[in-house]
Amino acid sequence: MHRAYEQQKHRSGCLVIALGLFVGTLGLVAADLYAVGVLILFLGGVGVAVLAGEYLIHYVSSRRPPT
């Protein structure tokens, strides 16, 4: 169950980034869409940073100390 949840979080982060890129590309037609695309892309970047931080926390806490 935990692994499926992790995969879902990764997929949702990638989807937000893809949506931001798509809307930002539409911004070539309308400047307002470009601004919205940049904001969505920023939110996707924050989501990816949170996922990376979670991964690092789990990685560091699961390592055994040197003996």
> Taking a C-beta distance cutoff of 8 angstroms, is the pair 27, 34 a contact?
yes
3-state secondary structure of 38: helix
Mean pLDDT in runs of 10 for the chain (67 residues)?
70 80 79 81 83 85 75
* Spans of all domains in the chain: 2-62
- pTM flag (> 0.85): no
- pLDDT number for residue 32: 79
- pLDDT number for residue 2: 64
Q: What is the 3-state secondary structure (H, E, C) of 28-53?
A: CCCHHHHHHHHHHHHHHHHHHHHHHH
Q: What backbone torsions phi and psi does residue 55 show, to the nearest 5 degrees? A: -60, -45
